Structure 1
Amino acid sequence: MNIPEEQKVNYATSMLRDDAKFWWESTQRTIKGTVSWQQFNQAFYNKYFSLTMRCQKEVEFLNLRQENMSVAEYEQKFDHLSHSVPRLVDTEEKKVERFIWGLREGIRGIVTAFRHKEYALALESALLMEVDLAAKTSTSE
């Protein structure tokens, strides 16, 4: 959001509500001096995303497969879970690879052949392949 580094903590903490606001007020009293964005971020992450939860989300992300979902449903779940495991998708290449790997076999093979380097293109190809496969299935019945 193009907020200067020295204002990030004030901006973020002004948006906290209810339990999160009480947590911050309590935490702030235990930290001496000015709180850096890195300190705030780490404290917030530790409080609201425990190691156990992070591990569970990582396992869920790594085991995510399209299976009976539509490509759109799979992409929505992929996008949601990827926010919990940023290091697994911290480059466009990693994100494309993880997305394609979870696609249903009939779609995955064809999308892989395109060798897309951009996530948006891989997603578009998967969506188009899904439509194409559905059209072929309906005409063969």
Structure 2
Amino acid sequence: MLVKLGEDQKTDFASYFLKGDANYWWKSRKALEGEDIIAWDRFKELFLEKHFPCYVKNQMHIKFLELKHGSMSMTEYEAKFTELARFIPEQVNTEEKRAQRFLQGLRPWIRGQVAVFELTTYTAIVQKAMIIEEESEIPQKER
């Protein structure tokens, strides 16, 4: 059963799960806010300011821009891409941007083979790249 929470309940619900230092931080921060009910948007703002400062966001941005398939498997590359992409939504806020950015990071020989299909969706590019990578490993396994 899906329960919809009101905006004022979201903060209470989320803060209930804070443990250790995060819980101590929230109790002192809530006292500083001076209000009984802290709006959900304000909670998110305060939480991210404390636990995800600008320098960390900038580091994630750089890691995402520098991400290359390299020696990772396609599965590992796709997982890392997805993990880092959430920190830089403006780089992947359309299906085409996401697909092109993923394609750019592929190993050149795989990128070349995928590019000829002129695919425009992220899922299609990932699937085709996985097939190409897997098929390229078959001759080595047969030896």
TM-score, normalising length: structure 1 = 0.85
Deviation digits for residues 88-118 of structure 1 (CA, Å, limit 9, x no counterpart): 2233222222211111011112223333333
1:73 to 59, 71, 76: 76
**How has the CA–CA distance of structure 1 residues 61 and 38 changed in structure 2, closer, same or farther, with 3 Å as cutoff?**
same
Tell me how far 1:3 sits from its aligned partner.
3.9
**Which residue is equivalent to 2:87?**
84
Deviation track 1:65-88 (CA, whole Å, cap 9, x = no partner) reads 011111111112112222332332
Q: Quick check: 1:18 aligned with 2:20?
A: yes
Distance of aligned partners of 1:11 and 1:117 in 2 relative to their CA distance in 1, 3 Å threshold: farther
Q: Which runs of no fewer than 5 residues in structure 1 stay unpaired?
A: none
Corresponding residue of 1:94: 97
1:55 matched residue in structure 2 = 58
Question: What is the percent sequence identity of the aligned residues?
Answer: 33
In structure 1, how many angstroms separate the alpha carbons of the residues matched to 2:123 and 2:40? 31
Q: Is the 8 A contact 2:8 2:38 kept in 1?
A: no
Q: Distance in 2 between the 1:117 and 1:9 partners?
A: 39
**Which contiguous aligned blocks of 4+ residues in structure 1 show a shift greater than 4 angstroms?**
none
Aligned to 2:113: 110
Deviation at 1:28, TM superposition (A): 0.9
Deviates more, 1:84-93 or 1:39-48: 84-93
Counterpart of 1:114 in 2: which secondary structure?
coil
Paired AA for residue 50 in structure 2: K
Deviation at 1:7, TM superposition (A): 2.2
CA distance in 2, matches of 1:64, 1:129: 20
Stretches of structure 2 lacking an aligned partner (at least 5 in a row): none
Aligned residues, how many? 140
Q: Hey, what does 1:6 align to over in structure 2? A: 8
Structure-2 separation of matches of 1:98 and 1:82: 10
User: What's the offset of the Cα at 1:126?
Assistant: 0.9
Residue aligned with 1:66, SS: coil
For residue 116 of structure 1, what is the amino acid of its counterpart? L
Query: Over aligned residue pairs, what C-alpha RMSD do you find?
Result: 2.3
Aligned partner of 1:31 among 30, 33, 37: 33
SS of structure 2 residue aligned to 1:52:
helix
